[in-house]
């Protein structure tokens, strides 16, 4: 694994795993969203590490920096988009959390999903079913 | 360089632009919004049809955004298969939008209707972009727009079940998006490019096999969640059944397919044949999952009592069909998968809209309640029957043709077990579809349940339903319009 | 086969005629009920007439063909009238025409949908007969399956529903198996599905195992409709449940669609040489023999007339299969000719059963004492056909048995003759009591000696509506006429021998 | 030296992430997450991505945190026990 000599990647993966663990295992939905954000930032971190080269400088042309020593600007441009996307997902999800809490009174995902649908309790299955 | 070279980008941007403008219109003249929303989609559809026949056989149309050359700029890349799917997307979104005008009066509160149209256009544009883009990061961005708008649309009614279903969808969808992003990062790390065509040539040379495999697995999981491939489908039955019916139609008829198509692109356009042996193991796993999906979805659909949940499980099963076609790695299999996207899009959208008709007119959701429905709603019921026939795969509907090629492809690949799975899938489909047809036509329900013997839904809702169901028939009989070029395009992809 | 294939729209028109009458029915107001019904009959009459006009050309060795649609180059929907297809179409259009006329009087007039589905079904099954390749055959075959479902459940009783459900279960499963068979056939036949030649598949392109698989899936797929024994379950339920004209068609035509499929598979897809080489014909023969005997035994135990007739049909259709499995000239000739013969006989028997049901309300054989005096013409026709079923000369049944027996000798397997004899005996055992009860027993004759005094009077001419009686009489006459002058042009022999002579020179 | 500093940052990142995940008090978790975002921004600055660092500081540590805090206030602070 030649890639792993770069500890940035290892760190990004570690953070990614922490985030994934949180999303899957933790039952509190706000925690899940925090986990989601950790996952996202870890991936951004990974991208930025990709573009980085040892002793590089920021890819800004205004100064007198040497273009050859600049870090790769493409991942950075991508991440800018990524951050915006991540923010909107988080915002949408959080607004849903508020709505859910209002209607179910719980943030626990198990309780939330276990709650029976009101519609299903109505008419019990009558009739002989299939022909 | 004719003007038509610009059409794909217009097809994508028009709905997005419409989405941006719609809130202003909603502020000024809210009553115009449902009609104005039709314009960009109709224009996209028109442009799409104008493109038919322009793309040289076995080639693709490449468009560089802002004139930047591919490795740096974003490329829009439309080949035959892509254009085919774009047209499907345009047509179905347009029809479901026509349908929406009357339908959402029932389910969406007045304050949210403009938002509904904005999100709808956003979703349509994103689906088009998702299909056409030739840049994998761009793919991610469109996927996120698509995902965001679909999360919001599932929850748009704001009632507790809807929000819960949407949240479940977010909880699975958002991590999957991040996985796709990570996969894109991995690919970028070993190739240094984001352009699909560029990637295809560089992947073969790069030696980082492990990274490629991991990246492919992440793609599979990421798109697998969005496309509701079997073990990752948990969000689908809730979200698809609780969303307003036109949205269910889009989610079930298009979104899952567009995501499956993304995997097709990743598999065949990015990893290509040289790397197929590399990702072969993963593809085999996908095949197993797909086979399980076909059976699981079918069996679950049989046990359902709620009509829309049943249709949703049927989607799980049919996604399995599509993936089985893809993993056959033969031109026939891929053709079958692509044609199934068309067929399933039309049929499933039609089924959901029909279910919407029942909800709209009677508020009935349960299968039991449909007994004798044809006395009051003959048109809806006949359309439903026609679409179900296509879902089962009985000739002369499009479902038959796609099943033909799916099975042919799997036979050619020597995958006997999958052939049997596909066949049993259609038996299962027959069980769950014929049950409903039987209830509708051959069983007398309670008299008072369908008392109003002459009233069907308004024409604005019937026309889309019938257009879709006749579409399944049309593409079954006139399959020669598409199959030869799809076969050629599939062979080209392979 | 002399390949003089001419383009012609006639096959298409023949298929569309029932639809045209259907549309005409819809166009006329509901009040003009009689007009609508007669239009329907006229539609089937017209399609029979038009079909008949093709006869000279067919005898001339021509085939008429029209392409409807295609998926890719070799995968197309094409209608071709070749000799075999014409033969099947002729008998089915004829029987259908009679059944439609019969239904006008028989079916409750409130249910126009029966006629609609009749017309639809006729169109589909004509499509089956005209199919130029397996692909087209399958498409029409499936449509016919679902089109005939409403015919079975027409009366909407619980029994009818259950029968219809069973029918669907069998049909859907069979359709799926068949679908696989056709795709596999397409794959190993190098994309060639056509019926144009005798024997498309060969061991050159496919392994033995593959070909055997294709054959057995075909046999299973068509075997459900053709009611080969382990797959016959839907037949005895569907026939009694359906209205009589529908059961006449079920037995006379729809079962035959399965048998016709097997004929196509044996002649046009595999070819006799390949069948012999693969050895699969033995299985087919054994299944057919079992079916013939066991179905007859089952028929003995049934008291419900239509159920007994249904079991009889199961046995009789297997004659066709047996004839094919002999792989001998006379066997094939007898088998394929039995397609028509059985349609005539069984069609007539079911229509008779319908008249009995309508006029006396009696379903069970044990209740039918004295029916022969009440309905003399019907019961005479019934007796003629029943005797023909046993193989009494001069009748179509005799010809079948004779040819099959001769085929058995040609194939040097006299064991088949024993089967045929046993079958004839069993046929006698279950048909003769019906005739006996109808004519020689009457109400109140339980005490011996008092019989003569109560014997009812024979009353001719008043038994039922002409529309019910005329089709029965025509069929009964044909059973005898075709049996005597079997080689008149246009009768089965003239057509079938052309095909069989090519296959077994 | 460079590497040592980077490693320190990384250790801090992992530590804050874990703390954010494990904190029982949701408000605390959110605040810790905000700290995590800030460290992340600093890390990016060290990787020569100043504009991203700025954005992350504003969006990650700022806006997102505010959203989370609002949500926590509108719902409940403690994680539920089963």
What is the predicted ipTM? Answer: 0.85
Q: Which two tokens stand for residue C330?
A: 């006379």
Contact indicator for B286, B271 with CB cutoff of 8 Å: no
- The answer to whether D59 contacts chain A (CB < 8 Å) is yes
* A43 with B185: Cβ contact below 8 A: yes
* DSSP H or E segment with residue C137: helix C134-152
Interhelix angle C305-325/C415-440, rounded to 10 degrees, is 160
B314 versus C460: the higher-pLDDT residue is B314
Q: Which tens digit of pLDDT belongs to each residue from B187-213?
A: 888 887 888 878 888 877 777 777 888
Which among C156, C176, C186 has the least Cβ separation from residue B423?
C176
Answer for the pair B253, B351: CB distance below 8 angstroms, yes or no: no
Gap from A70 CA to chain D (nearest CA, Å)? 9
Instruction: Domain count for chain B, please give it.
Output: 1
Q: Does residue C162 belong to the interface with chain A, where contact is any CB pair within 8 Å?
A: yes
φ/ψ (deg, to 5) at A68: -65, -25
Q: How sure is the predictor about A58, in pLDDT bands with cuts at 50, 70 and 90?
A: low
In this prediction, residue B267 carries a pLDDT of 84
**Other C-beta atoms within 10 Å of A81: how many?**
14
Mean pLDDT of B458-465: 86
Domain boundaries, chain C: 4-499
Mean pLDDT by 10 residues, chain C (505 residues): 70 85 74 75 85 85 84 82 89 89 77 80 90 90 89 84 88 91 88 81 83 91 89 89 89 90 90 87 91 92 90 91 90 90 91 88 84 85 91 87 90 88 91 87 60 63 78 90 81 84 83
- Dig out the tokens for B405 from the structure: 């090629």
CA C139 to chain centre: 19
pLDDT band for position A60 (50/70/90)? low
Residue among C453, C210, C479, C448 nearest C343 (CA): C479
Chain A residues in contact with D33 by the CB 8 A cut-off are: 34, 37-38
**pLDDT class of A122 with cuts at 50, 70, 90:** very low
Q: Label residue A3 by pLDDT band (50, 70, 90).
A: very low
Tokens matching residue B436 = 């409903």
- Do C and D make contact via 3 or more CB pairs under 8 A? The reply is no
Residue B318: phi, psi to the nearest 5? -75, -25
- Residue A65 confidence (pLDDT): 59
Cα(C214)–Cα(B149) distance, rounded to whole angstroms? Answer: 49
Whether residue B199 contacts residue B212, with contact meaning beta carbons closer than 8 Å, is answered with: no
Interchain CB contacts (distance < 8 Å): A and C: 5
C161 touches chain A (CB under 8 A): yes
Residue A102: pLDDT band by 50, 70, 90 thresholds? Answer: confident
- State the Cα–Cα distance between residues B170 and A93, nearest whole angstrom: 7
Contact C408, C417 (CB under 8 A): yes
How far, CA to CA in Å, does C213 sit from each of B321, C176, C181, C194, C223? 23, 14, 8, 19, 15
pLDDT digits (tens, 9 = 90+) for B61-110: 777 776 666 566 677 888 778 888 888 899 999 999 999 888 888 778 88
Residue A67: is its pLDDT beyond 70? Answer: no
Distance CA B346, CA B257 (A): 11
Q: What is the CATH number of domain A2-55+69-115?
A: 1.10.287.3510
DSSP β-bridge partners for residue C6: C64
CB C326 within 8 A of CB C235: no
Domain limits at B468? 3-493
> Which chains, if any, share at least 3 CB pairs under 8 A with chain B?
A, C
From residue C441, how far is each of C362, C369, C438, C448, C455 by CA, in Å?
15, 5, 6, 11, 9
Neighbouring subunits of A (3+ Cβ pairs under 8 A): B, C, D
- Cis-peptide, bond into residue B362, ω within 30° of zero: no
Query: Can you give the residue ranges of every domain in chain A?
Result: 2-55+69-115
How much is the average pLDDT of D26-31? 89
3-state class of B77 per DSSP?
Answer: strand
pLDDT score at B275:
56
**How many Cα atoms occupy the beta-carbon half-sphere of C54 within 13 Å?**
31
Distance from CA of B164 to the nearest CA of A (A): 7
Q: How confident is the model at residue B104, as a pLDDT?
A: 84
Total count of residues recorded for chain D: 82
The reply to whether residue C146 touches residue B483, judged by beta carbons under 8 angstroms, is no
Contacts of A15 in chain D (CB under 8 A): 13-14, 17
Residues of chain A contacting residue B151, judged by C-beta atoms under 8 Å apart: 89, 92-93, 96
Residues of chain A contacting D50 with CB distance shorter than 8 Å: 58, 60
Chain A partners within 8 Å of D13 (Cβ): 11, 15
| Closest Cα in chain B, distance from residue A109 (Å) | 9
Largest Cα–Cα distance in chain D? Answer: 47
Per-residue pLDDT at B317 exceeds 90: yes
Chains that touch C (3 or more CB pairs under 8 A): A, B
| C80, C132 contact by CB (below 8 A) | yes
Work out the percent of chain B whose per-residue pLDDT is above 70. Answer: 94
Reference C321, options C279, C285, C269, C278; nearest CA is C285
Nearest by CB: D75 against A27, A56, A107: A107
Closest to C101 (Cα-Cα) out of C118, C83, C76: C118
* Cα distance between the two ends of chain D: 47
pLDDT of the residue at A55? 61
Which pLDDT score, from 0 to 100, does residue B80 have? Answer: 79
Q: Quick one: closest CA in C to A130, which residue? A: C165
Q: Is the pLDDT of residue A66 over 70?
A: no
CB C14 within 8 A of CB C53: no
């Amino acid at each position: 694994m030649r890639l792993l000599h770069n500890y940035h990647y290892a760190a990004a993966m570690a953070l990614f795993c922490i985030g994934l663990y949180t999303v899957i295992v933790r039952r509190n939905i706000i925690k899940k969203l925090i986990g989601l954000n950790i996952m996202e930032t870890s991936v951004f971190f990974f991208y930025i590490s990709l573009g980085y080269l040892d002793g590089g400088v920021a890819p800004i042309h205004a100064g007198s920096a040497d273009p050859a020593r600049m870090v790769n600007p493409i991942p950075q441009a991508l991440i800018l988009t990524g951050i915006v996307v991540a923010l909107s997902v988080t915002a949408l999800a959080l607004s849903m959390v508020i709505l859910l809490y209002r209607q179910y009174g719980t943030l626990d995902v198990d309780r939330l999903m276990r709650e029976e649908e009101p519609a299903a309790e109505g008419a019990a299955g009558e009739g002989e079913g299939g022909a | 360089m004719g003007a038509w070279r610009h059409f794909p980008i217009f097809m994508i941007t028009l709905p997005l632009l419409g989405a941006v403008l719609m809130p202003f219109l909603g502020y000024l003249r809210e009553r115009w919004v449902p009609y104005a929303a039709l314009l960009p989609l109709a224009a996209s559809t028109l442009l799409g049809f104008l493109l038919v026949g322009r793309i040289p056989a076995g080639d693709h149309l490449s468009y560089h955004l802002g004139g930047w050359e591919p490795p740096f700029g974003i490329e829009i890349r439309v080949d035959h298969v892509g254009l085919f799917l774009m047209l499907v997307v345009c047509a179905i979104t347009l029809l479901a939008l026509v349908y929406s005008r009357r339908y959402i009066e029932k389910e969406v509160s007045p304050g949210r209707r403009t938002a509904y149209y904005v999100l709808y256009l956003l979703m349509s544009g994103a689906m088009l972009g998702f299909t056409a883009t030739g840049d994998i990061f761009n793919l991610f961005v469109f996927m996120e727009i698509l995902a965001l708008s679909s999360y919001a649309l599932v929850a748009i009614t704001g009632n507790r079940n809807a929000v819960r279903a949407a949240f479940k969808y977010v909880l699975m969808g958002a991590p999957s998006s991040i996985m796709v992003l990570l996969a894109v990062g991995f690919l970028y790390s070993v190739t240094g490019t984001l352009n699909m065509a560029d990637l295809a040539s560089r992947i073969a040379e790069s030696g980082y096999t492990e990274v490629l495999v991991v990246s492919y697995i992440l793609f599979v999981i990421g798109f697998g969640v969005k496309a509701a491939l079997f073990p990752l489908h948990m969000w689908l039955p809730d979200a698809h059944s609780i969303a307003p019916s036109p949205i269910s139609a889009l989610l079930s008829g298009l979104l899952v397919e567009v995501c499956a198509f993304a995997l097709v692109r990743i598999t065949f356009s990015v990893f290509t044949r040289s790397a197929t042996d590399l990702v072969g193991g993963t593809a085999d796993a996908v095949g197993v999952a797909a086979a399980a999906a076909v059976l699981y979805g079918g069996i679950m659909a049989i046990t359902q009592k709620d009509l829309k949940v049943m249709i949703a499980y049927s989607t799980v099963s049919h996604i399995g069909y599509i993936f089985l076609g893809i993993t056959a790695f033969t031109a026939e299999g891929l053709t079958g998968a692509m044609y199934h996207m068309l067929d399933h899009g039309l049929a499933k959208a039609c089924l959901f809209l029909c279910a919407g008709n029942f909800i709209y007119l009677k508020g009935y959701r349960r299968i039991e309640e449909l007994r004798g429905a044809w006395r009051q709603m003959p048109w809806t019921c006949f359309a439903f029957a026609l679409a179900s026939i296509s879902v089962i795969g009985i000739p002369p509907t499009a479902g038959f043709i796609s099943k033909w090629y799916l099975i042919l492809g799997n036979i050619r690949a020597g995958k006997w077990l999958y052939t049997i799975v596909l066949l049993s899938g259609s038996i299962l489909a027959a069980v769950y579809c014929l049950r409903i047809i039987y209830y509708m036509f051959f069983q007398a329900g309670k008299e008072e349940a369908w008392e109003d013997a002459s009233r069907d839904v308004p024409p604005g809702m019937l026309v889309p339903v019938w257009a879709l169901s006749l579409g399944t028939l049309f593409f079954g009989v006139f399959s020669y319009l598409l199959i030869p070029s799809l076969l050629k395009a599939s062979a080209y992809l392979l | 086969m002399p390949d003089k294939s001419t383009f012609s729209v006639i096959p298409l028109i023949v298929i569309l005629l029932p639809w045209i009458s259907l549309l005409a029915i819809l166009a006329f107001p509901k009040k003009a009920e009689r007009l609508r019904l007669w239009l329907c009959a006229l539609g089937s009459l017209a399609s029979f007439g038009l079909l008949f006009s093709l006869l000279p050309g067919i005898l001339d060795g021509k085939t008429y063909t029209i392409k409807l649609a295609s998926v890719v180059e070799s995968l197309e929907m094409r209608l071709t009238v070749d000799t075999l297809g014409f033969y099947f179409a002729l008998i089915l259009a004829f029987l259908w025409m009679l059944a439609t006329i019969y239904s006008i009087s028989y079916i409750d007039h409130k249910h126009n949908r029966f006629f609609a589905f009749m017309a639809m079904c006729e169109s589909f099954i004509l499509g089956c007969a005209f199919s130029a390749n397996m692909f087209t055959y399958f498409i029409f075959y499936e449509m016919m399956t679902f089109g005939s479902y409403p015919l079975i459940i027409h009366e909407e009783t619980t029994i009818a529903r259950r029968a219809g459900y069973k029918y669907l279960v069998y049909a859907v499963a069979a359709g799926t198996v068949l679908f696989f068979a056709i795709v596999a056939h397409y794959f190993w036949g190098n994309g060639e599905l056509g019926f144009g030649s005798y024997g498309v598949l060969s061991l050159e392109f496919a392994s033995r195992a593959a070909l055997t698989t294709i054959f057995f899936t075909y046999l299973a797929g068509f075997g459900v409709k053709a009611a080969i024994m382990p797959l016959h379950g839907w037949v005895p339920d569907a026939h009694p449940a359906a209205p009589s004209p529908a059961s006449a068609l079920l037995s006379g035509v729809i079962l035959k669609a399965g048998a016709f499929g097997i004929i196509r598979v044996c002649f046009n897809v595999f070819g006799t040489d390949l069948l012999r080489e693969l050895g699969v014909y033995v299985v087919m023969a054994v299944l057919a023999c079992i079916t013939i005997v066991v179905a007859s035994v089952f028929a003995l135990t049934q008291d419900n007339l239509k159920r007994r007739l249904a079991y009889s049909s199961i046995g009789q259709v297997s004659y066709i299969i047996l004839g094919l499995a002999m792989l001998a000239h006379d066997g094939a000739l007898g088998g394929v000719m039995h397609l028509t013969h059985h349609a005539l006989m069984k069609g007539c028997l079911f229509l008779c059963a319908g008249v009995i049901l309508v006029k006396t309300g009696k379903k069970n054989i044990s209740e039918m004492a004295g029916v022969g005096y009440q309905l003399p013409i019907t019961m005479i026709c019934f007796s003629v056909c029943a005797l023909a079923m046993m193989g009494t000369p001069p009748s179509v049944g005799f010809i079948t048995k004779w040819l099959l027996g001769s085929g058995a000798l040609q194939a040097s397997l006299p064991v088949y003759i024993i089967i045929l004899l046993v079958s004839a005996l069993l046929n006698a055992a279950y048909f003769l009591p019906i005739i006996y009860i109808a004519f020689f027993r009457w109400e109140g004759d339980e005490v011996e000696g008092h019989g003569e005094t109560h014997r009812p009077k024979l009353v001719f001419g008043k038994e039922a509506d002409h529309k019910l009686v005329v089709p029965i009489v025509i069929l009964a006459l044909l059973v005898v006429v075709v049996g005597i002058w079997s080689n008149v042009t246009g009768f089965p022999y003239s057509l079938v021998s052309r095909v069989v002579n090519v296959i077994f020179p | 030296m460079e590497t040592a500093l980077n490693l320190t940052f990384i250790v801090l990142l992992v530590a804050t992430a874990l703390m954010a995940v494990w904190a029982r008090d949701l408000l605390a978790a959110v605040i810790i997450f905000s700290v995590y975002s800030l460290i992340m921004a600093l890390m990016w600055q060290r990787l020569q991505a100043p504009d991203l660092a700025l954005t992350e500081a504003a969006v990650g540590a700022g806006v997102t945190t505010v959203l989370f805090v609002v949500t926590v206030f509108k719902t409940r602070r403690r994680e539920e026990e089963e």
